[in-house]
Amino acid sequence: MGVAEADSAGLRVMGTFKDHFSARAPAYAAFRPRYPQALFDFLLGLAPGRELAWDCGTGNGQAAVSLAERFARVVATDPSTAQIANATPHPRVEYRVARENDSGLRDASADLVTAAQALHWFDLRAFFGEARRVLRPGGVLAAWCYVDPALEEPSLDRVLQDYAGTVEESWPPERKYTLDGYRSIAFPFPDLEAPRFWLEMSPTLPEFVGYLRTWSATQRYVEAHGRDPVNDVEAELGKLWGAPSARRTMRWPLYLRVCRAPGAR
């Protein structure tokens, strides 16, 4: 999950890695939503083969493990040593600590390259160059993201939306790319049509506030103000949630961009 500055072409160029997630890598692994299996089935149907997938910016390996159920081998990279240390083991996943320009893969070897909730942190020029190099002819590049969820219960959702407003100014600038579903990013190949996918999770109250603490905006708010804003929302939600062990449904729209390298499929 690299960070970069914009150049004249609108792409970002390699800079110092700003690590928003290592300090809370165990929480990220425990509390983030899981991607729908239909998403990975869709990508498998597009890929020209099932030999190798590269998951870049893998974080806790959530996408990598799902890919490994469908591909013979998955290489999963992330610049955060802590994220890799907390990643979910799988016999067909090889985890590596590496930036987005350094997959370590051979030329034209990957059937699929993915970036799950990570593309907005990358040096886009470097990543797209590496994706071009490692994708085989007809190989597929896919990136997806999500932003703020909605809780199904209106009274709970109002508290969530108020919290989102509290930390809004603490989001890193890269959030703008997720807010438009990556539509402002010029991908290296023509887009393919993709269906709409949704994330869904039914957390307990402790799991929900654990999720809020994984937000990079929450962490930056704490650094700027010296206090954890989740404490206030946890107290307010405690009056509305019911039993802390009760599960409440929340959903996110998933924004997917997918494209294919030229050549035979």
Q: How confident is the model at residue 31 (pLDDT cuts 50, 70, 90)?
A: confident
Sequence-separated (6 or more) residues with CB below 8 Å from residue 73: 51, 52, 53, 92, 94
Q: Where are the domains of the chain?
A: 4-147+173-198+253-260
CA distance 61 to 67: 10
Whether residue 32 has pLDDT greater than 80? no
Whether residue 9 has pLDDT greater than 50? no
Report which DSSP code applies to 214.
T
Tens of pLDDT, residues 139-153 = 999 999 998 899 999
Per-residue pLDDT, 26? 60
Q: Work out the angle between the directed axes of helices 154-167 and 230-238 (0-180°, nearest 10).
A: 170
Tens of pLDDT, residues 176-232 = 999 999 999 999 999 999 999 999 999 999 999 999 999 989 999 999 999 999 999
Per-residue pLDDT, 11? 45
Whether residue 18 has pLDDT greater than 60? no
Q: What average pLDDT does the segment 54-58 reach?
A: 97
Average pLDDT, the chain: 89
Per-residue pLDDT, 151? 96
Per-residue pLDDT, 249? 96
Out of 11-20, 73-82, 86-95, 188-197, which region has the weakest mean confidence (pLDDT)? Answer: 11-20
b vs e for 226-235, b when ≥16 Cβ sit within 10 Å of the residue's Cβ? eebbbeebbe
CA distance 212 to 146: 14
Whether residue 4 has pLDDT greater than 60? no
CATH fold group of domain 4-147+173-198+253-260: Rossmann fold (3.40.50)
Q: How confident is the model at residue 13 (pLDDT cuts 50, 70, 90)?
A: very low
More reliable by pLDDT, 37 or 83: 37
Whether residue 14 has pLDDT greater than 70? no
Tens of pLDDT, residues 89-139 = 999 999 999 999 999 999 999 999 999 999 999 999 999 999 999 999 999
Question: How many distinct helices (H) and strands (E) make up the chain?
Answer: 10, 10
CA distance 120 to 1: 8
